[in-house]
Amino acid sequence: MTAPLRLSVLDQSPIPEGSTGADALRNTLDLARLADELGYVRYWVAEHHGTPMLAGAAPEVLIAAIGSVTERIRIGSGGVMLPHYSPLKVAEEFSILGGLFGDRVDLGVGRAPGSDRETMFALQRDRRQMSPDDFPEQLAELLAYFEDDFPRGHALARLAALPGAPGTADVWLLGSSPQSAIWAAELGLPYSVADFINPAGAENALLYRERFQPSRRRQEPELVVSVAAICADTVEEAERLASSSRMAIAMLRSGRSIAVPPVDRALSFLAQTAGPDQTGGRRIVLGPPDVVRAGLEQVAAEYGADEVMVVTITHDHAARRRSYELLSAAA
């Protein structure tokens, strides 16, 4: 008998055309309740800024709301874009989340801006120049707060008494590049690989496993792969639903971010702009439950992943709910 596939959810809080960001946030809470009921392992929310397509600009706020409407599922960020923030502020926020929701809080951190260059600049407090690229130092400081691991006499050591103590978060590193894999391995951190951004990331996963150094965080490597997928009753229906995200990605590649379009408009757009690749080089696993399960298992095997985190974007929220229901039943 085939072993159950460990499944989780990555929610980018998509905004369907004709609705609002507030609607998208309520959809996130609704989907989180469903994922909790269906037995998904974890529910992570993403961070994006300055786009009409995605409402999740403040994962720490959404996580608090999600924690209040769920009971069992792990909750966390996929991820917090650390270059925008003070490591102390992030540590304090997630210690409070841990104080509120116990040991089910994950803190996934990333280096990417989650925005364009202008928006990244607007997020800065000091705008006299661009912020330095000091992510490794930021990450080390963040871990030191959680682990009370500053050198003796360090000026910041007293700040490791975080406000939500003993609440804490399990820190993950997110990435889609060889560098993120190396950092995660050297620090002995669990690693989340974004296949839906870079479908050629299996080599990074191998690099992570080969270079992994046991630590207080993990004795063995732990890897989650995030995959775009849509599950429907038929291949044809899944393809129809996928047209919305394909149009949105195509528009983004052309320099214009839009809300997630309805299927009919997306199909018309794609028919007029038909080309050899309408996915922007991205992978999406589509079809009925057995096909999607097999596809996710194949991706997991490519990465040697312990778990698959599924990101699903459709215009219709009911279709997104249905996709996760079908997938859960098949797993």
Q: Residue 305 has what pLDDT?
A: 95
Main-chain phi, psi angles of 284, to 5 degrees: -140, 130
Residue 183 pLDDT greater than 90, yes or no: yes
- CA distances in angstroms from 156 to 139, 198, 205, listed in the order given: 15, 37, 34
pLDDT in tens, 81-132: 999 999 999 999 999 999 999 999 999 999 987 667 788 788 887 777 777 7
Residue 3 pLDDT greater than 80, yes or no: no
Domain extents for the chain? Answer: 7-226+291-330
Residue 169 pLDDT greater than 90, yes or no: yes
Residues 42-51: what's their mean pLDDT?
95
Are 43 and 69 within 8 A, CB to CB? no
| Class in CATH terms, 7-226+291-330 | alpha beta
Q: Is the dihedral of CA 80, 81, 85, 86 positive or negative?
A: positive
Based on its alpha-carbon atoms, the radius of gyration of the chain, rounded to whole angstroms, reads 20
The pLDDT > 70 percentage for the chain reads 96
- Residue type at position 174: L
Residue 60 pLDDT greater than 50, yes or no: yes
Joined tokens for residue 311? 């990101």
Q: Is 281 left (phi over 0), alpha (psi -120 to 50) or beta?
A: left
Q: Residue 188 has what pLDDT?
A: 98
Which one is predicted more confidently, 200 or 280? 200
**Tally of CA atoms within 13 A in the half-sphere of 44 that contains its CB:** 27
